[in-house]
Structure 1
Amino acid sequence: MKILHIIPSVASVRGGPSQAVVETVKALRNLGIDTEIVTTNDNGNDLFDVPLGKPIDYKQVPVRFFSRFSPKVNFIREFAFSSQLTTWLWQNAARYDLLHIHAIFSYASTVAMAIARIQGIPYIVRPLGQLCEWSLQQSACKKQIYLNLIERANINHSQALHLTSEQEQQEVSRLALRSPSFVLPHGLSIPSTISNARSLFREHLKVPADEPIILFLSRLHPKKGLDYLIPALGKLTNYRFTFVIAGNGSKEYEAEIESLLISNRISDRTCLTGFVTGETKNLFMQGSDLFALTSYSENFGVAVLEALAMGIPVIVTPGVALATVVQQNKLGYVPELDVQAIAKAIEQYLTHTPEAKDMGDRARKIISENYTWDQVAVKMEQIYESIIQFFPINS
């Protein structure tokens, strides 16, 4: 079985979905499946300095990078156009038994679906939450035109939609697409425990050893709900805490966040650390007391999963797909997307610390038993085999 994964970018700055495809391929290869990634050299506003057009070892998996068109106009650059990628896919896609295409509304994904349709190659699509209601409402006119003229036909001809939560599946079902769907969540590579993470993190931030730390770790984007979380924290004037924002975004939005911190009078209680990865990210996760993601919409929420795996209680809003898991298993708090409700949930955490330890213990157990990449890869292999087996009959 030979599988090709296509995604516009594998850059860490693109967040969880890009990291997930790398981990998926790594786990599939551990099962003996011949699979690799094709992508552009996109690295946010920059480009990866990597050899182009040939497989290289990237984070222990084979990846072929192709040149991304990089004009100064942001929305054109973000579209990730690549003529080299197009040529290579046209000449080589048929060598694979199945294409696993990640993202929509982006050139690399769209052209991969079109080529698969023309050449009669089976493919599945992971839309990365871009078919969810909130996402479709952003730049709604452009997306509706793109969806109706191009992407709907591409999706309808896919063998399946790969969705990562039941919540995403419910939202996608409202679009009346013809392609069937299956739900397979992201997995997690659980890092080794840092024994003195709490003290090390507080030393790093230069805050008292007993200071409660509330962590937001994600890219800075309007959908992440910081416009609710920051005002909620601003209401907790009678409580000690340090708020950590670990992530980056556009310069304009970063400036907006800084203004929001000042207007809510918590700038002196907030550490803006920028984007963190590797051991620094692990330290942030393991050294925090509460992880917060009050998003408008998340088709999954990889960072939430990472926090739970470390035994950190979370506060998430209903738009985060993992909210159901959090609520059903009492792994944290799920307030409505409302300033008062979020403030009340954080206050509840700050006044019920022993309860939080029980949440953390449950979270570690549930994540280790249900969300490892090895478990995901086994299920993915079964799905691939089923699609490949029946494709000649259905095509």
Structure 2
Amino acid sequence: MSQPLRILQIIPSISLVYGGPSQMVKGLSSALASQGVNVTVLTTDSNGDVGQLPLDVPLNQPVEQDGYQVRYFRCSPFRRYKFSLDLLRWLWQEAREFDLAHIHALFSPVSTAAAAIARHKNLPYILRPLGTLDPADLQKKRQLKQIYAALWERSNLARAAGIHFTSAQEAKISERFGIQTRDLVIPLGVTPLVMPPKGESRRQLGISEHTPLLLFMSRIDPKKGLKLLIPALEKLLAEGINFHFVLAGTNPQDPDYESQITEQIKTSPLFSCTTITGFVKGELKAALLQDADLFVLPSYYENFGIAVAEAMVAGTPVVISDQVHIWEEVKSTQAGWVCACEVNALTECLRESLQDAGERQHRGRKGQEYALKNYSWDAIAQQTIQVYRQILENQH
């Protein structure tokens, strides 16, 4: 019988305030552990921007969680950048105890340094870029990223055993800085939420059961397309189309942008039919996904869109842009509506979907069928284990 794989998952933070990447590492680690893999997650106690308190967790010791271990390390120095010298010291000493490292994030100092240590210790590693190689994302702080890539990330990409993309579209468009890489396309999984009684979120938030509920549940970030969504909803409101908009999310790294969006809505006619909840989790999150008539995410770029997959699993039809990289799956399975990143195109999609309850229900069912089959953690863990074993066989 072969020995269990010993896998490191390395990520700057697994606080849920950082959204999809944190959820993914927890879900993957639990699913891998359930299939006999020994998983250790290395991360920091970062829990949002500098003004937030760090996670209240034991440091520098193993914490058992859902069948795997987490080791949290103090963010120090450079807390803003989720950096930890203690984490890197531990990795330097213990790297040889593991078969492979799966590193989540590029252009993040702790992930960059972890890849360099893995190389030095001859520990094979996979890099998951989290959308940071998307040309649109590379435009942000472009010159700084070019220098950063030239100094560090180009070497990390060149020596990686594979680059983990979560959709074929993400792999297709991603920048490699002239490096030939082995691309591994493995989608993200979704843990089905325990659903409260139908109508719970409407009761909590005071939303009529007869009003279509339109949900945006994602990080409040410029890339998520709110500057398309707000004017589109204002147009529909002016046409007399009835709906209630729930804006659920936060931005731990750019609270100024979050405040700007909040103020924009407060001074808009949209304010009368909008509820701003901030970050949601647990029962309220599940209730919103279940009660929503439409989930909307018109992002300018999105390497996967875990929130979209969560909505699909909940049976909620989605309206997304064609820059959310699972748009082809949504379109081909009729799980929702797909539009260009443009106000009029988004308005048209929303108008069509809000005016046809039967079609919404039909597309919600189609999306749920597809997501339960293709985004289950068990299936993704099996695919990931196969990739790990192939990489390790190639090393010998």
Q: Is the 8 A contact 2:157 2:176 kept in 1?
A: no
Q: Where does residue 107 of structure 1 map in the other structure?
A: 109
How far apart, CA to CA, are the structure 1 residues paired with 2:57 and 2:266? 41
Give the letter for the 1:169 counterpart.
A
1:121-270 equivalences under 5 Å are 121-172=123-174, 175-194=177-196, 196-197=197-198, 199-237=199-237, 238-249=240-251, 250-270=254-274
Q: State the TM-score, normalized to the length of structure 2.
A: 0.94
Give the deviation of 1:369 after TM superposition.
Answer: 1.2
Give the deviation of 1:258 after TM superposition.
Answer: 2.0
How far apart, CA to CA, are the structure 2 residues paired with 1:243 and 1:14? 23
1:39 aligns to 2:43 (yes or no) = yes
Give the letter for the 2:13 counterpart.
S
Partner deviation per Cα, 1:67-119 (whole Å, 9 max, x = no partner) = 1026xxxxx53322211111101000111011111101112211110011111
Give the deviation of 1:253 after TM superposition.
Answer: 1.2
Give the deviation of 1:200 after TM superposition.
Answer: 2.1
Give the deviation of 1:260 after TM superposition.
Answer: 2.3
Q: Secondary structure of 2:308's match?
A: helix
Match of 1:54 among 46, 53, 61: 61
Partner deviation per Cα, 1:163-205 (whole Å, 9 max, x = no partner) = 10011101126643222111000011112343x42x2222112
Q: Name the CA shift for 1:59/1:267 in 2 (closer, same or farther; >3 Å).
A: farther
Q: State the TM-score, normalized to the length of structure 1.
A: 0.95
How far apart, CA to CA, are the structure 1 residues paired with 2:176 and 2:87? 33
Q: Secondary structure of 1:235's match?
A: helix
1:282-321 equivalences under 5 Å are 282-321=286-325
Q: Where does residue 31 of structure 2 map in the other structure?
A: 27
Partner deviation per Cα, 1:36-66 (whole Å, 9 max, x = no partner) = 1001111112311211111113465310011
Match of 2:17 among 13, 19, 24: 13
Q: Where does residue 72 of structure 2 map in the other structure?
A: 65
1:336 aligns to 2:340 (yes or no) = yes
Give the deviation of 1:144 after TM superposition.
Answer: 1.0
Identity of counterpart residues, as a percentage? 39
Give the letter for the 2:243 counterpart.
F
Partner deviation per Cα, 1:256-295 (whole Å, 9 max, x = no partner) = 1123224542011110001001111000100110000011
Q: Is the 8 A contact 1:258 1:267 kept in 2?
A: no
Q: Secondary structure of 1:382's match?
A: helix
Q: Return 5+ residue gaps in structure 2 as ranges.
A: none
Q: Is the 8 A contact 2:322 2:341 kept in 1?
A: yes
Give the letter for the 1:62 counterpart.
Q
Give the letter for the 1:234 counterpart.
E
How far apart, CA to CA, are the structure 1 residues paired with 2:250 and 2:65? 23
Q: Name the CA shift for 1:192/1:49 in 2 (closer, same or farther; >3 Å).
A: closer
Give the letter for the 2:61 counterpart.
K
1:346 aligns to 2:350 (yes or no) = yes
How far apart, CA to CA, are the structure 2 residues paired with 1:60 and 1:15? 22
Q: Name the CA shift for 1:253/1:34 in 2 (closer, same or farther; >3 Å).
A: same
Q: Is the 8 A contact 2:46 2:55 kept in 1?
A: yes
Give the letter for the 1:64 counterpart.
R
Q: Return 5+ residue gaps in structure 1 as ranges.
A: 71-75
Equivalenced residue count is 385
Q: Secondary structure of 1:162's match?
A: strand
Partner deviation per Cα, 1:184-231 (whole Å, 9 max, x = no partner) = 00011112343x42x222211212220110000011111111011011
Q: Secondary structure of 1:42's match?
A: coil
Q: Where does residue 330 of structure 2 map in the other structure?
A: 326
Q: Is the 8 A contact 2:81 2:108 kept in 1?
A: yes
How far apart, CA to CA, are the structure 2 residues paired with 1:193 and 1:49? 28
How far apart, CA to CA, are the structure 1 residues paired with 2:202 and 2:336? 23
Q: Secondary structure of 1:56's match?
A: strand
Q: Secondary structure of 1:151's match?
A: helix
Give the deviation of 1:251 after TM superposition.
Answer: 2.9
Q: Name the CA shift for 1:368/1:264 in 2 (closer, same or farther; >3 Å).
A: same
Give the letter for the 1:347 counterpart.
R
Give the letter for the 1:330 counterpart.
Q
How far apart, CA to CA, are the structure 2 residues paired with 1:160 and 1:78? 28
Q: Where does residue 73 of structure 1 map in the other structure?
A: none
Give the letter for the 1:167 counterpart.
Q
Note the aligned Cα RMSD (angstroms).
Answer: 1.4
